[in-house]
Amino acid sequence: MGGHAAQSGAPAPVPVVRECAGCSRSLGHARARWPWPASPRDRRRTRGRPAERAAHPCGPAVRGEVLIVGAGPGDPDLITVAGLRALRRADVVLYDRLAPAELLDESRADAVLIDVGKTPGHHAVPQERINELIVEHARRGSVVVRLKGGDPYVFGRGGEELDACRAAGVPVRIIPGITSAIAVPGQAGIPVTHRGISRSFTVVSGHVPFDDAQYRALAGIGGTIVVLMGVNTMRQVVTGLARGGMRADVPLAVVERGFSEARRTRVATVGTAGAVFAGDSPRSPAVIVIGEVVRRAEVDPLDEAALQARVESLVGAATP
């Protein structure tokens, strides 16, 4: 990645005078501050390398650290206080598309923002390289925040990043986030558990379809099933659950683009999902919810009427 220092005519770093928190001694040019563009949008497009921290005149070299932060389900207001504090003190922020872009405005003006954007089926920066970047910047003495959508430990590969830091001897800490597996259905009026309806929920990844034994187990466990990363395999998932013994009339909801102005909730059943969504396939990011709790979903009235008419026409066509 090319930094500002490598660009022709780039401004020189501006020295920043700091004091030691322990002895109040002036550290002089303890760390160079890069004069990044003021616009957060410009900074998001910037690729840079932070200045390394100099050895502390009062003691050993400053050690870097890594904070793996869950940014929540899409609404910037739903990041935790601890996550926001970490973001505001970061020297380097590695982020992807599932973390709310507005949160980058909370980072320091001189922070380096690195887009490691991932889209379904396309990882512009492989996970192994992300791990390397995290470690490289931390070893230079930087406070590194890896900003991730949802919770780092719910299909977020946060464990892999934590392992990479530990293997490299880099201090690392996880700051949990609100997972979309619970929050996105909740925003659509769907509780994953509800007294008298569902006393358990299972969160699964739809990235790779299950085998028949696993589908039978899922269909038999009862409760609510939440599928993440499942828009491209939804047909296989619902047919697999049907083969595993799940009733065709079990309701199903797809909540697309949760916590955005473009959020859309559509409902069907296990038996009708393939046909209902055939003409307008769900798009990522989306959360699929399967179970009786879906009957509590808050669906747009126009959308609901259209879906009901579609379901009735399909049922009528299938009736001999």
Active site residues: 96, 118, 229
**Three-class secondary structure of residue 300 per DSSP:** coil
Which of 285, 46, 40, 314 is CA-nearest to residue 181?
285
Q: Which two tokens stand for residue 251?
A: 């309701």
How far is residue 261's CA from residue 198's CA, in Å, rounded to a whole number?
Answer: 29
Cβ–Cβ contacts within 10 Å for residue 40, how many?
A: 17
Q: Angle 303-308-310 (CA atoms, 0-180°, nearest 5)?
A: 95
Burial per residue of 167-200, b for 16 or more beta-carbon CB atoms within 10 angstroms, e otherwise: ebebebebbbbbbbbbbbbbbbebbbeeeeebee
Residues forming a β-bridge with 174: 68
**Phi-psi region for residue 127, left (φ > 0), alpha (ψ -120 to 50) or beta?**
alpha
How far is residue 17's CA from residue 177's CA, in Å, rounded to a whole number?
Answer: 35
How far is residue 267's CA from residue 294's CA, in Å, rounded to a whole number?
Answer: 8
Helix axes 212-221, 234-243, angle to 10 degrees: 70
Q: Which two tokens stand for residue 102?
A: 């507005």
Residues forming a β-bridge with 143: 65
Instruction: Specify the amino acid at residue 290.
Output: I
Q: What is the dihedral of CA 282, 288, 293, 299, to 10 degrees?
A: -20
